[in-house]
Amino acid sequence: MGMRENPNRMLENPNRMPESPTDGTVIERVLCGDTESFGFLIDRYQDDLVAYANYMIGSADDAADVVQDSFVRAYKSLRQCKDPARFKAWLFRIVSNQCKTHLARHHRRHRESLSAAVGVPGDKDAPDTAVEGAELRRTVHEALQHLTVDQREALVLKYIDGLSLPEIADLLSTSQSALKMRLLRGREALRERLQGVAL
């Protein structure tokens, strides 16, 4: 008795969104007029994209603005996403391009913004280890801003976001061999920037 699904219950709300819908399911619903469903995609990817943009740009506020603008662009051009199953990669390219556009427009770097972006504590009574850790994060964060955009992007995706080489190569539309060279040069440039810093 309790094992069989009540057919009437199944018909109560046939349009109800599954608890964890695939990107393709969400996109299909949005394109059919259920615009509010786009919120699923925002909730799913916003935090990771803001963290990525923060490292790329060096400002938490600007990163949030860039990602918000990217979501607007993605929503408006959603029909151009030819493979909804690869929406994440498509969206990432929009955010990546917006970061690069932002950097081209705002090439001057503000140290105060960089410090705020990595959360340097302002409490003078904070434990020495916490202060040292925050200072190290700030130093590395600032050093990243002096690398080329391509090098910084590769290092952030590999060592901060923890993606694999195949995943990064797919996101950046490049070969793994080219990516390895970019990572090598990026590490060398970062190491040169951090000479004398106790890591």
Over pLDDT 70: what percentage of the chain? 74
> Which residue, of 59, 78, 108, is where some domain finishes?
108
- Judge whether 124 lies within some domain: yes
Q: Locate 39 and state its tokens.
A: 């919120």
- DSSP letters spanning 123-175: -TTS-HHHHHHHHHHHHHHHHHTTS-HHHHHHHIIIIIS---HHHHHHHHT--
| Residue owning tokens 């916490």 | 130
Q: Is 9 domain-assigned?
A: no
Residue 148: which CATH number? Answer: 1.10.10.10
Q: How far apart are CA 107 and CA 146, in angstroms?
A: 11
Mean per-residue pLDDT for 106-123? 42
Residues 86, 151 share a domain: no
User: Exposure string (b/e) for 102-128, b if CB count within 10 Å is 16 or more?
Assistant: bbeeeeeeeeeebbbbbebeeeeeeee
In this predicted model, which residue has the larger pLDDT, 104 or 101? Answer: 101
Q: How many domains does the chain have?
A: 2
Domain C-terminal end among 108, 139, 168: 108
pLDDT in tens, 41-100: 999 999 999 999 999 998 899 999 999 999 999 999 999 999 999 999 999 999 999 999
Distances 49 to 5, 110, 119 between C-alpha atoms, Å:
40, 21, 18
Give which of 140, 145, 171, 143 is closest to 158, Cα–Cα: 171
Q: Is the pLDDT of residue 133 over 80?
A: no
Look at residues 79, 108, 137 and tell me which one is the last residue of a structural domain.
108
* Amino acid, single-letter form, for residue 190: L
Q: 37 and 93, same structural domain?
A: yes
Cα distances (angstroms) measured from residue 120 to each of 54, 112, 129, 136, 193: 14, 10, 12, 10, 20
pLDDT at 106 over 80: no
Q: What is the mean pLDDT of the chain?
A: 80
Instruction: Find the domain containing 157 and state its range.
Output: 118-199
Residue 155 lies in a domain: yes
Rounded to the nearest 5 degrees, what angle is found at the Cα of 180, between the Cα atoms of 174 and 182? Answer: 75
- Within a domain: residue 3? no
Residue 136 is predicted with a pLDDT of 72
With respect to residue 123, please indicate whether it lies within any of the assigned structural domains.
yes
Q: Tell whether 7 is covered by a domain.
A: no
In a domain, 5, yes or no: no
